[in-house]
Amino acid sequence: MIAIEQLSTELASDSGMVRAVDALSLTIESGQTFALVGESGCGKSMTALSLLRLLPDSGRVTAGTVTLDGTELMGLPERSMRNIRGRRISIIFQEPATSLNPVMTVGQQIVEVIERHTALSGAAAKAKAVQWLERVGIADAARRIDSYPFQMSGGQKQRVMVAIALAAEPDVVIADEPTTALDVTIQAQILDLLRALQKSQKMAMLLITHDLAVVAQMAHRVALMYAGQIVEVASAPAFFAKPRHPYAVNLLDALPDAQQRGKRLAAIAGTVPPLHQVFAGCRFADRCTDASAQCLSAPPALVAVQADHAVRCVLYQAGQDQSLATRNAVSSPGVVRAPLAPSTGVPLLQVQDYRVWFPIRKGLLQRTVGHVKAVDGVSFSLHSGRTLALVGESGSGKTTVGKGLLQLLRGSAEVSGSALLDGQALQGLQGEGLRQARRAVQIIFQDPFASLNPRMRVNEILEEGVASLHPEIDARTRSARVADLLEKVGLPQAAITRYPHEFSGGQRQRLAIARALAVQPRLIVADEPTSALDVSVQAQILNLLNDLQQELGVAYLFITHNFGVVEYLAHDIAVMKNGHLVEYASAEKVLGQPQHAYTQELLRAVPRLARPA
């Protein structure tokens, strides 16, 4: 269906010409899912944009061909490409919050695609749009079709993006992190929908993701990308049964799950190298524990180790199988958490019968005619040094709980009930009292692009909170703290003078985490802090969060849909549904013996990855 040969893409930057994609070749057959995996910044999303010729003004395809069912795309005029995009090839973008038009309803955006690329129009197109919203799991689709993107949760916006991409039933779908912002039940629905469309109309899919469990469940073939190059390509069963490249082995060792609980995850040291340089040898060499002088002498070629399995590594250049599946990753796992004592004493955070209701206003005078009960009578407690995972479907009220506790909904919602931090009521705090509370409590927002100031450089973003909440710290100490935080979250020191738009989605999430850590809080409300991170950086962040908890007794209210992270990190779990807690107990009890039917449904929907023997 689509064949890519020696595709190379360059981007002009202040540091020089960045070769984001370097001589990439792959083919995807009709009805096949081809997964492109690797760390943030490796060139996966730039590959997708190159295929659709949607590169930024600074970018251009310098070499290679892309052939869609016999039609070469790189030489087509732009008018012809408009007929290709959406109808023949569509894309599910990584960040729905920035991809959806904020001044158009979601229905208008879906109808636009249907009317542009199919014979339907008017009421028939709108009816089709409602059907697509229903198929991707939007409740009350006939009403929500008139909603604007800001009126929907992160997961709901992602579902709208999927509906837009599939509305014209294309031949090829490029899915760039299509389930990142989705809870496990909706993720299962979306993946089932994509599989059904593949089967019915032989749709090909390029799946770009860092969720290796989803890859194992969905993909027929897998290509591992690093620093603009493919370093390993194989069928999915062969890749997961016996990974060959050191990078592949390290990624699988970095996955969090119940088996890794209490241990240090095998994070890969360092970061992806900048792509404006000329590489003399293997691009992974400076992070590889198996590197030798041969690795630095010349770039390795992509060689076949089996009929359907190729690797770019000097260990296989002589044709010998030197599998690394049994070797240790860069950071050998070791116990990092001492056995946790039972919760005693006064909780750091005590929440009782907490409610957050949003008024529904209508008419010329905007009278309140009802309420959206986003959080309705929630109660839990959190002690220092413990992690409470708040899980549930998108729209269940998890994020609203976190924002309400930090007093970020004043003026827009009616809040009642009790929320005590160290015995002090958070509701009603003003001035210095509120400032003191925010020294102790910080939040990592779900959408890093929307929460980072686009007009501020990284050093200004990270120093702003410290300067505001800790004015006693001098400028030199602030700068040193920022430099240390960048290293801890896996970003190069050169990032300090850059703006948020110059980073990938995963890198922006690391900046958001660093900003929350900068003021050294006692409690962090982490709203999907690792959802946009690849597994190696996720391991770095989870190790960092564990270290802080061990050293400083930091508590985490961890809002997530990633049950691998929950199994690894959480001491207690609270399950939310429609604004209520339906189950609340220790992690061992909830994961091992779930009592509520909804909890059981969530756990059944979690994709699992069998580790290599």
Please report the domains of the chain, with CATH numbers, ordered by start residue: 2-99+170-241 (3.40.50.300), 100-169 (no CATH), 246-316 (no CATH), 349-604 (3.40.50.300)
Task: Write the burial class of residue 156 (CB in 10 Å: 0-12 exposed, 13-18 middle, 19+ buried).
Answer: buried
Residues of the chain under the 70 pLDDT cut:
181, 318-345, 505, 532, 610-613
Which pLDDT score is estimated for 332?
40
Give the amino acid at 526: A
Q: How far apart are CA 302 and CA 230, in angstroms?
A: 8
Asked if 227 and 283 touch (Cβ cutoff 8 Å), the reply is yes
Task: Write the burial class of residue 490 (CB in 10 Å: 0-12 exposed, 13-18 middle, 19+ buried).
Answer: buried
List, in sequence order, every residue forming a beta bridge with 312; answer none if it has no partner.
302
pTM of the entire predicted model: 0.76
Q: How far apart are CA 54 and CA 576, in angstroms?
A: 39
Which pLDDT score is estimated for 532?
66
Which pLDDT score is estimated for 331?
40
List, in sequence order, every residue forming a beta bridge with 224; answer none if it has no partner.
37, 232
Asked if 306 and 293 touch (Cβ cutoff 8 Å), the reply is no
Which pLDDT score is estimated for 330?
39
Q: How far apart are CA 490 and CA 471, in angstroms?
A: 27
Asked if 136 and 162 touch (Cβ cutoff 8 Å), the reply is yes
Asked if 21 and 42 touch (Cβ cutoff 8 Å), the reply is no
Q: How far apart are CA 68 and CA 82, in angstroms?
A: 14
Edge-first strand listing for the sheet containing 580-586: 441-444, 523-527, 555-559, 387-392, 572-577, 580-586
Torsion angle of alpha carbons 143, 147, 151, 156, nearest 10°? 70
CA distances, 60 to each of 50, 53, 93, 128, 219 (Å)? 8, 8, 19, 36, 29
Edge-first strand listing for the sheet containing 71-72: 16-28, 2-13, 59-68, 71-72
Which pLDDT score is estimated for 96?
78
E strand intervals along 438-547 = 441-444, 523-527
